[in-house]
Amino acid sequence: MEEQGAVPLQGNAIQRANIKPYANEQRLFIIMALISGLCWLGLTIATLGIIWIIMLVLYLIGLFGFSYFISYVRGNGVRVTAEQFPDLHDRFVACCQITGVSKLPEFYLMTGNGALNAFATRFLRRYYVVLLSDIVDALQDDPEALNFYIGHELGHIAQKHLVHHWWLVFATWIPLLGTAYSRAREYSCDQYGLACSSNKQSAVHALAVLAAGSTRWKTLNTQAYIAQTKDTDGFWMAVNELTADYPWLCKRVARIEKGEETVFPRRNIFAWLISATIPNTGFGLIGAMVVYLYLLLILVPISISAYSTYQTKALNAKTRVELSQAYAAGHTAANLVGQFYAENEYAPADLEALGFKKPANGIVKDVELDSESVEVTVTLNAPHQDKKIILSPSANENGQISWSCLVAGKVNADALPDHCELIPDENDTEHTEDSTLLGKLFRKLK
pLDDT at 14: 45
91: helix, strand or coil:
helix
CA distances, 349 to each of 337, 340, 431, 437 (Å):
10, 11, 22, 17
In order of 92, 141, 143, 212, 245, the CA distances from 86 in angstroms are 10, 18, 14, 29, 34
Q: Within 13 Å, how many C-alpha atoms sit on residue 330's CB side?
A: 35
Beta bridge partners of 240: none
Question: Domain 322-445 carries which CATH code?
Answer: 3.30.700.10
258-300: per-residue pLDDT in tens? 887 888 999 999 999 999 988 887 776 777 777 777 777 888 8
- The radius of gyration of the chain's CA atoms, rounded to the nearest angstrom, is 40
pLDDT along the chain (446 residues), means of 10: 44 59 92 94 93 91 92 95 95 94 94 89 93 93 93 95 88 92 95 91 95 93 94 92 94 91 90 89 73 78 88 92 91 88 81 84 89 86 90 78 88 89 63 48 44
The domains of the chain are located at 7-198, 322-445
**What does the pLDDT read at residue 224?**
95
